[in-house]
């Protein structure tokens, strides 16, 4: 009987990196009886499989294609991967899977403590230019969002498919099996062991990096200027392109000290109080004993920003503006150049000009000047 495995995320647990690596190895996996039908060259085409509500027609078509491919395939195992299943209705998923013929099902979720998850989700929105207010302003909408409050969503999966079908593992980089994400994934999904060297030959490539506190301040400031001046003219893509380029340029140039972005401590405490009981209830279902940090997530006080070299920021913004002009986004380039021209500097201890950009209210952190 065919085994169907669903890697269902959750968000911000390396899902994009996992999908890129699986997509790279589709031919090798197929030779070993493991199929990833219609996965796409970057491993993102399965996202439509979870769009039961947002794109019902597209979702139905996607499942029909998957079912046709599965019934014609002699693969012993089929893997589907999208972190968007955390927001899907398990009953709708059960109905869709019924078209796949007789099978055994396993649904795999990586989970992580909620303060760290909230921080990553917030910074993802900063990178996309969507977050225009501070993290506390998003707490109400996140409180009932399945991508953040994942315990009730996973519990519903257990209710529909049975607890034995749902496999849970803590996303904990310090304790990855084999010392890397892909080694840990290979063990979690029980993938062909002879392919592990090829899966890990390039190490853990960061596909969707999280900005540092310094990078986040600059991304937010440019996004706010672009949106205040041009709104969503042309849709969200120009802002996302600008911020993606700026992020890449800053990662290349800001190679000195940096600080991890931390939520305001009162928000951390509120999240901790809300979510720890749910994680404790989920802990017995983990495939390994829960760590102390999963059961009782430590809180970390925010710290001041590291010094930001002015020249690195100016060069990064110039490269961003050049990219925008190259894509015929002249208005966005002009706003970016104007933003850069208004920045000011102050001398550092050794005389090196440092950026003087007080953290905007949206990203103000305790202890930040």
Domain ranges for the chain, please list them: 2-116+145-199, 213-261+302-363
Tokens of 191: 């993938």
- Sequence-distant (≥ 6) Cβ neighbours of residue 157 within 8 angstroms: 8, 90, 107, 109, 166
Residue 242: phi and psi, rounded to 5, are -60, -45
The hierarchical CATH code for the domain 2-116+145-199 is 3.40.50.300
3-state secondary structure of 71: helix
Measured CA distances, 56 to 62, 85, 175, 296 (Å): 10, 14, 39, 39
H/E run at residue 72: helix 56-72
Could you give the CA distance from residue 350 to residue 326 in angstroms, rounded to a whole number? Answer: 37
Q: Report pTM.
A: 0.91
Could you give the CA distance from residue 277 to residue 296 in angstroms, rounded to a whole number? Answer: 10
Q: What is the pLDDT of residue 358?
A: 60
Q: What is the pLDDT of residue 224?
A: 94
Q: What is the pLDDT of residue 306?
A: 94
Q: Give the closest residue to 250 by CA, choosing from 205, 306, 316.
A: 316
Tokens of 168: 């849970």
Low-confidence ranges of the chain (pLDDT < 50): 359-369
3-state secondary structure of 248: helix
User: Could you check whether the bond before residue 350 is cis, i.e. omega within 30 degrees of 0?
Assistant: no
C-alpha dihedral sign at 220, 225, 226, 228: positive
Could you give the CA distance from residue 126 to residue 134 in angstroms, rounded to a whole number? Answer: 10
Q: Per-residue pLDDT tens for 154-165?
A: 999 999 999 999
Task: Render the burial of 118-128: b for 16+ CB within 10 Å, e for the rest.
Answer: bbbbbbbebbe
């Amino acid at each position: 009987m065919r085994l169907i495995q669903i890697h269902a995320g959750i968000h911000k647990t390396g899902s994009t990196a996992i999908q890129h690596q699986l997509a790279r190895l589709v031919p090798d996996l197929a030779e070993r009886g493991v199929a990833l039908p219609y996965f796409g060259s970057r491993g993102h085409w399965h996202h439509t499989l979870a769009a039961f509500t947002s794109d019902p027609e597209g979702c139905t078509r996607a499942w029909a294609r998957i079912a046709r491919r599965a019934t014609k395939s002699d693969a012993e195992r089929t893997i589907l991967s999208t972190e968007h299943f955390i927001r899907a209705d398990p009953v709708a998923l059960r109905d869709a899977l019924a078209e796949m013929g007789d099978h055994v099902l396993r649904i795999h979720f990586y989970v992580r403590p909620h303060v760290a998850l909230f921080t990553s989700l917030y910074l993802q929105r900063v990178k996309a230019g969507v977050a225009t207010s501070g993290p506390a302003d998003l707490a109400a909408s996140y409180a009932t969002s399945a991508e953040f409050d994942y315990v009730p969503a996973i519990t519903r999966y257990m209710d529909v498919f049975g607890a034995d079908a749902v496999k849970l593992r803590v996303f904990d980089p310090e304790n990855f099996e084999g010392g890397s994400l892909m080694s840990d994934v290979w063990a979690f999904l029980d993938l062909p062991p002879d392919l592990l060297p090829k899966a890990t030959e390039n190490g853990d490539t960061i596909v969707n990096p999280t900005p540092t506190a310094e990078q986040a301040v600059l991304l937010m400031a440019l996004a706010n200027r672009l949106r205040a001046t041009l709104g969503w003219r042309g849709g969200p893509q120009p802002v996302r392109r600008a911020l993606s380029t700026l992020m890449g340029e800053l990662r290349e140039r800001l190679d000195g000290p940096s600080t991890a972005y931390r939520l305001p401590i009162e928000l951390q405490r509120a999240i901790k109080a809300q979510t720890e009981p749910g994680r404790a209830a989920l802990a017995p279902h983990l495939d390994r004993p829960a760590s102390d940090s999963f059961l009782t997530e430590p809180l970390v006080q925010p710290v001041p920003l590291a010094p930001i070299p002015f020249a690195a920021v100016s060069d990064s913004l110039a490269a961003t503006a050049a990219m925008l002009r190259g894509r015929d986004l002249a208005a966005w380039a002009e706003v970016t150049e104007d933003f850069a021209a208004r920045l000011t500097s102050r001398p550092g201890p050794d005389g090196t000009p440092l950026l003087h950009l007080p953290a905007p209210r949206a990203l103000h952190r305790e202890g930040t000047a």
